[in-house]
Chain A
Amino acid sequence: MKKIINMSLMMALMTILILSFNACGKDDDKDMTPPVISTEGITANPVNCQQYHPGDVIPFHYVMSDDQELGAYNIEIHNNFDHHSHSTEADDHDHDHDMGECDDDDEHEHEHEHSEGKAWAYNQDFTIPAGQRLYDAHHDIQIPADATPGDYHFMIRLTDRAGWQQLHAVAIKIVE
């Protein structure tokens, strides 16, 4: 019996030893949080389900922030004629319908011929001046006059200096 107690003690001791290793993590000032893309205090553009016309300008406006230092961002627009879905918009966690799509989306649109014009694609990298924690990003993005009408995804990608990345996806529509 004594032996059993000894053994149990030894095993318990080993467990404590292993667990205690885990406890010696130390705090330092490394950046552990991704940057934030927000609409706080501004009228952000574009937002989900907005409609634009070929030849219009999208007055892009979002606020970017990070607890330490911002890095760079990228704006990319691609067509969503096949209705794939992104998930970072606020209402996305409603699992009942296809995420990232608007109520008036034509579910059969991908069967349409997109023969007139060109499916619009836009992809641009932007830098943020060094040392910024808060950045007000403003751009006018010209929609080509020959852009094919339909559903588009508007993607914003943002990094901070440490290399964390944040994504924000918005579904927009180009109508005739």
Chain B
Amino acid sequence: MMTTSILAAALMACLASGHGEVAPDDTTVVLKGVTVSGQRQHDFQMRTSQSAVQVSHDYLQQHFSGSLMQTLEGIPGVKAMAIGSGQSKPTIRGLGFNRMVVSEDGIKHEGQQWGNDHGLEIDQFAVDRAEVIKGPAALLYGSDAIGGVLSLYTNHVPTEPLSGSVQIFGRSNNEQIGVTAKLGGRHGKWFYRVGATLIDYADYRVPTDSIQYYSYWIRLKDQRLRNTAGCERDGSVMLGYAGYRFHTDLRISDSYSKSGFFANAHGLEVRLSDIDYDHSRRDIDLPYQWVNHLKVLSHTSWQGDRLRAEANLAWQNNHREELSEPVSHGYMPKPDETLERRFVKNTLTANLALHLALGERHELSTGVNGEYQHNRRGGWGFIIPDFETTSIGAYAMDCYTVNQRLKLNAGIRLDHAHTHISSYHDWFLTPTTDGTSVYKERSADVNRNFTSLTWSAGINYAVGHWVLKANAGKSFRVPIPKELGADGVNYHIFRYERGNANLDPEESYQIDMGIHWDNDVVCLQVDPYVNYFPNYIYLNPTAEYVEGLQLYNYTQARVLRYGVEAQATWVIDRHWEAELKGEYLYAEQLSGQKKGYTLPFSTPWSVDASVKYSFQWHGNTFVGLNARIVGAQREIVPPEKPTDGHWTLNLSAGKQIDLRKSKLNIALHADNLLDRRYYDHTSYYRLIDVPEPGRNVSLMVGLEF
């Protein structure tokens, strides 16, 4: 049901709306309505030759389902991958982590994206609107934009001298409560915005009394995952000047979160801790993590008659720590402190772009992106080495409007990256065969240079009620230091991981199609794609044991993936609207030791059927019911287990009340109404047989003034 007002656009247009562009005021306004008219969809579909979806501010408000990622899950092809501790990471068409980009106001978000146990590190309530590009977007974003891009925009320019909002929200499952407030104003050409969010939640509940982890059997008290409580504190300040031709703004934001790890399934050995976890469901004991992300972002643009110039500069500081009760393992003695891992990453980003209108028909965009990353580690657990990465990329693309019905675009980009990995030695001695002992080297000193040439070309064609799009593109990803330099026990998942310093940049070729048909009543959208990796970087489980644990090593394999997303919306009458949408994805490794197997966490097919009743024509008061059917996944790769299919029933309702000078928004969302017990094949907790949360009701009440 989420999609009724999402503008689903899978056409091919000019990619031009991406990187570095400040929220163009028009798009923020365009998507206000709950039901978007066919003509608007039509126009949006002509904007880009890629498969793109826009999500408006109003949509995010009215369809709030607990978190931003859960709200965005309504877009076919987009999933929130549960990574434990109630947190989730986005995936686009089955690709996540370093195979997609999350950007905030045109700047790529840089934390420890490879990590599988922490969330977005962005204040989701500060997000004004979002845009999802499904498919390769290397042209504008460089490395990592293989699966697609989730662009979040927090830089809407206020139009009133004073405006703001206050929202309170809660969820039943983990007894979450939260409050967020925003204030902004414009005085002449100057404007400001401030925002803050506070969230607090208890251990989350699953419909089971016990789970099995590794070879341990764990009973749960009151069906709660012990120690998964947490909290989040976010704040931001923005100052800007918006003139007729010149615009500049500076935004400083900080996002802090602390959350417990499921106490029974963390670290090497499941021990009976002396900590009384069942004492309180709201406290956070060891093991836990905290992360602080500080971001300073500056955006400046100058708009001439034919020329538009932009400069985006950013500094990001990501500090993350994992703390746990120290245990000895192998030759490692029991450490003295609880700091298991610390990562401090500083990232400097500079993006410069020029958009030039050449005559009536051509729009040329060129740009340069530079980025410097500096990462330092700490703590007694080693997983990634210290590293520095410098990268620079330049691109040029042309958007050619042949006529109103036909648009073509093509672009090319060159990237160069240099990565330096520092060597790392154990802090404890390991005996050798000759009777001495050594501080074993876990990561060697490595210098690597990577160069990638990428391109993209697309076409949009509109005829009658149809819009047809096609896009072909190449994207790439620079191997991350974990893939190049890991050599040790992964303390989280009971395995020994070994990197490969000779990995090549991962490359991906993709062809996307978009078929769109609409009239005033019906809107149909089908987006098939084919994706080929000549050298997908894969963490391969081997038959070998190293230091008592199964060895996983990084290799590269040819991989073929294809899939389709489809969506049909039907406005039955003034009140009723029905929607059907679905997605399917297939992946196969064509070479290497796992030839014939799929990729890990392969998304099963799913179908969503929804009906929605609106109390007035184009009004903001509605009730909707949704049935979500997910297929079984039998295509697995070690160490996965096949997952049965399941279905859930979900309800959502929204109401907007116009007060004298303000608006009151109420959004209610109930997931898994029947409290069914099921497993999500793409969840990290699937490996330890933790079922998905049971019935969960989210409520948000917001006042906008």
Interface residues of A (CB under 8 A from B): 3-4, 7, 10-11, 14-15, 17-19, 21-22, 25, 28, 30, 32, 34, 70-74, 76, 78, 82-88, 92, 95, 99-100, 110, 123-126, 155, 157, 159-165, 167-169
Task: Tell me if B572 and A4 are in contact (CB < 8 A).
Answer: yes
Task: Tell me if A165 and B635 are in contact (CB < 8 A).
Answer: no
Contacts of A92 in B (CB 8 A): 217
Task: Tell me if B568 and A21 are in contact (CB < 8 A).
Answer: no
| Closest residue on chain B to residue A168 by CB atoms | B215
Task: Tell me if B634 and A163 are in contact (CB < 8 A).
Answer: no
List, sorted by A's number, 28 A–B pairs whose CB atoms are closer than 8 Å. Answer: A7-B570, A7-B578, A11-B570, A11-B578, A15-B580, A15-B607, A21-B564, A21-B584, A21-B586, A21-B605, A22-B584, A22-B631, A70-B543, A72-B545, A84-B270, A86-B217, A123-B330, A123-B547, A123-B548, A124-B548, A125-B544, A125-B547, A125-B548, A126-B545, A159-B543, A165-B541, A165-B639, A167-B214
A78 to B639, CA, bound (A): 24
A73 to B549, CA, bound (A): 10
Contacts of A165 in B (CB 8 A): 541, 550, 638-639
Task: Tell me if B545 and A22 are in contact (CB < 8 A).
Answer: no
A30 to B590, CA, bound (A): 13
For the A-B complex, the count of residue pairs with Cβ-Cβ distances under 8 Å equals 125
A78 to B547, CA, bound (A): 14
Q: A11-B570, A163-B541, A163-B593 are in contact. List 7 more A-B contacts (CB 8 A).
A: A7-B522, A25-B634, A76-B548, A78-B269, A125-B548, A159-B550, A167-B214
B466 contacts the other chain (Cβ, under 8 Å)? Answer: no
Task: Tell me if B634 and A167 are in contact (CB < 8 A).
Answer: no
B373 contacts the other chain (Cβ, under 8 Å)? Answer: no
A31 to chain B, nearest CB (A): 9
Task: Tell me if A88 and B215 are in contact (CB < 8 A).
Answer: yes
B422 contacts the other chain (Cβ, under 8 Å)? Answer: no
User: Of B271, B566, B572, B605, which contacts A84 at CB under 8 A?
Assistant: B271
Task: Tell me if B330 and A17 are in contact (CB < 8 A).
Answer: no
A167 to B605, CA, bound (A): 31
| Interface range for B | 35 or more
Contacts of A15 in B (CB 8 A): 580, 582, 607
Residues 608-635 of B, flagged 1 when their CB comes within 8 A of A and 0 if not, give 0000000000000000000000010011
| Closest residue on chain A to residue B214 by CB atoms | A167
- Most chain B beta-carbon neighbours within 10 Å: one of A17, A21, A25, A161: A21
User: Of A83, A123, A162, which contacts B272 at CB under 8 A?
Assistant: A83
Contacts of B566 in A (CB 8 A): 14, 17-18
B216 contacts the other chain (Cβ, under 8 Å)? Answer: yes
User: Of B215, B522, B584, which contacts A155 at CB under 8 A?
Assistant: B215
User: Of A3, A25, A85, which contacts B635 at CB under 8 A?
Assistant: A25
Task: Tell me if B212 and A87 are in contact (CB < 8 A).
Answer: yes
Contacts of A161 in B (CB 8 A): 543
A135 to B542, CA, bound (A): 19
Contacts of A76 in B (CB 8 A): 548
User: Of B212, B542, B582, which contacts A163 at CB under 8 A?
Assistant: B542
Residues 111-129 of B, flagged 1 when their CB comes within 8 A of A and 0 if not, give 0000000000000000000
A87 to B631, CA, bound (A): 30
Task: Tell me if B639 and A164 are in contact (CB < 8 A).
Answer: yes
A101 to chain B, nearest CB (A): 11
A92 to B695, CA, bound (A): 30
- CB within 8 Å of A: which of B533-584? 540-550, 564, 566, 568, 570, 572, 578, 580, 582-584
A99 to B649, CA, bound (A): 36
- CB within 8 Å of A: which of B506-551? 521-522, 524, 540-550
B70 to chain A, nearest CB (A): 22
| Closest residue on chain B to residue A159 by CB atoms | B543
Contacts of A87 in B (CB 8 A): 212, 215-217
Task: Tell me if A167 and B215 are in contact (CB < 8 A).
Answer: yes
| Closest residue on chain A to residue B330 by CB atoms | A123
A6 to chain B, nearest CB (A): 9
Contacts of B546 in A (CB 8 A): 125
| Closest residue on chain A to residue B545 by CB atoms | A125
A167 to B214, CA, bound (A): 8
B283 to chain A, nearest CB (A): 22
| Closest residue on chain B to residue A100 by CB atoms | B217
Contacts of B271 in A (CB 8 A): 82, 84
- CB within 8 Å of A: which of B40-79? none
Task: Tell me if A163 and B210 are in contact (CB < 8 A).
Answer: no
Contacts of A85 in B (CB 8 A): 216-217
| Closest residue on chain B to residue A153 by CB atoms | B215
| Closest residue on chain B to residue A34 by CB atoms | B638
Task: Tell me if A163 and B586 are in contact (CB < 8 A).
Answer: no
| Closest residue on chain A to residue B543 by CB atoms | A71
Task: Tell me if B605 and A19 are in contact (CB < 8 A).
Answer: yes
Task: Tell me if A86 and B215 are in contact (CB < 8 A).
Answer: yes
- Most chain A beta-carbon neighbours within 10 Å: one of B214, B550, B635: B550
- CB within 8 Å of A: which of B303-340? 330
A27 to B366, CA, bound (A): 48
- CB within 8 Å of A: which of B580-601? 580, 582-584, 586, 593-594, 596-597
A10 to B272, CA, bound (A): 57
| Closest residue on chain B to residue A122 by CB atoms | B548
B375 to chain A, nearest CB (A): 30
Contacts of A28 in B (CB 8 A): 596
A86 to B215, CA, bound (A): 5
A128 to chain B, nearest CB (A): 9
Task: Tell me if A72 and B544 are in contact (CB < 8 A).
Answer: yes
A156 to chain B, nearest CB (A): 10
B589 to chain A, nearest CB (A): 10
Contacts of A74 in B (CB 8 A): 545, 548-549
Contacts of B522 in A (CB 8 A): 7, 10
Contacts of A163 in B (CB 8 A): 540-543, 550, 593-594, 638-639
